[in-house]
């Protein structure tokens, strides 16, 4: 039952954001009493925390699989867009903004994951790209990795979309393309364009 509650909570939070989805909403969707939910989750804070924890575990597995299946660092970057597309198609853009504002413990978990896993993975990819001759050797890896993370974070801020007519995913795609063209060598740009043309 706990797994069913967690799955339904994840589905609803991702679709509508965490603020508007109550325990009553989840109970009603599952056809169970709110009391049943509280037998597994003491409060909404615990529910949101475990939803983020489950998301992080799944996301980590996807990136591990991507590391194994990628041909090179540019291929990995473009394939990561496909993972992002799937995730973003299921995610309300306000989700992380609301978690940050109303559920600090859950957001702290997500922040730790970004720093310990995503940021470190990005730095490794940048160094690998330099070694392979695809990325410019003079780039400051730590700074550029943080710039890329900042771009992703910015796109989750609802204020960022005030005047935009682009979808969440299209925004991410444009930002990544802009980022890549700033760090690619001629050799890297040639491979990058060949991958894009083959899609």
pTM higher than 0.75: yes
pLDDT at 11: 93
pLDDT at 92: 82
Q: What is the mean pLDDT of each run of 10 residues along the chain (199 residues)?
A: 93 92 95 94 95 92 90 93 79 86 94 91 96 97 95 78 73 91 97 89
48-70 CB burial, b ≥16 within 10 A, e <16: bbbbbeebbeebeeeeeebeeeb
Question: Sign of the CA dihedral 103, 105, 109, 112?
Answer: positive
Compute, in degrees rounded to 10, the torsion defined by CA atoms 42, 45, 47, 52: -150
pLDDT at 37: 95
**Token match 């720093």: residue?**
115
**Token match 């978690």: residue?**
99
pLDDT at 163: 61
Report the C-alpha gap between 13 and 26 in whole angstroms.
10
pLDDT at 159: 75
Q: Which two tokens stand for residue 196?
A: 């894009």
């Amino acid at each position: 039952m706990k797994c069913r509650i967690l799955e339904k909570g994840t589905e609803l939070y991702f679709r509508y954001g965490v603020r508007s989805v109550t325990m009553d909403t989840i109970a009603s969707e599952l056809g169970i009493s709110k009391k049943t939910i509280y037998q597994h989750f003491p409060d909404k804070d615990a529910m949101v925390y475990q939803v983020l924890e489950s998301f992080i575990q799944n996301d980590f597995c996807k990136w591990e699989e991507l590391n194994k299946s990628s041909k090179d660092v540019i291929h990995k970057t473009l394939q990561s867009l496909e993972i992002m597309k799937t995730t973003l198609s299921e995610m309300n853009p306000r989700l992380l903004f609301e978690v940050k504002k109303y559920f600090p413990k859950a957001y702290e978990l997500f922040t730790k994951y970004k720093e310990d896993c995503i940021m470190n993975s990005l730095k490794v990819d940048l160094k690998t790209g330099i070694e392979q001759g695809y990325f410019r050797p003079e780039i400051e890896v730590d700074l550029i990795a943080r710039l890329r993370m900042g771009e992703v974070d910015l796109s989750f801020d609802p204020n960022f979309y005030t005047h935009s007519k682009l979808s969440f995913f299209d925004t991410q795609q444009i930002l990544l393309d802009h980022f890549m063209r700033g760090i690619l060598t001629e050799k890297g740009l040639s491979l990058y364009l060949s991958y894009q043309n083959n899609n």
